[in-house]
Amino acid sequence: MNYQTWKNAVESTEKAMQIASAKLQQFPSGEMGLTPKHVRELPEWQQAHREYQTFFNALRVLNKGQTEFIKRAASERKASR
């Protein structure tokens, strides 16, 4: 995998993860920010949580072992500031 392919895959995964996170944030949370048990039992919440976890794990797999790409991306972000 070359750098540009990795970078495109990470960007698309992060966008999908943001969408899945927005779906999860639509559900109510308790006083301390935790999701109540009756909400966690809803099939809609379970599906949204499963989607988020899928994209999160995909991002972990993409980043694993790609330290040179991660460092290069960080230096690009730093240079663009």
The pTM (predicted TM-score) of the whole model is 0.81
Domain range for 74: 1-8+37-81
Q: Indicate whether 41 belongs to any domain.
A: yes
Q: Indicate whether 45 belongs to any domain.
A: yes
**How many structural domains is the chain composed of?**
1
- Mean pLDDT confidence for 2-27: 94
Q: Indicate whether 17 belongs to any domain.
A: no
Q: Indicate whether 64 belongs to any domain.
A: yes
14 touches 21 (CB < 8 A): no
Cα distance between residue 51 and residue 44, in whole Å = 11
The pLDDT value recorded for residue 16 is: 96
Residue found under tokens 């972000």: 77
Q: Indicate whether 46 belongs to any domain.
A: yes
- Mean pLDDT confidence for 26-49: 94
Cα distance between residue 78 and residue 8, in whole Å = 18
Position 1 confidence tier, pLDDT thresholds 50, 70, 90:
confident
Q: Indicate whether 56 belongs to any domain.
A: yes
What's the mean per-residue pLDDT of the chain?
93
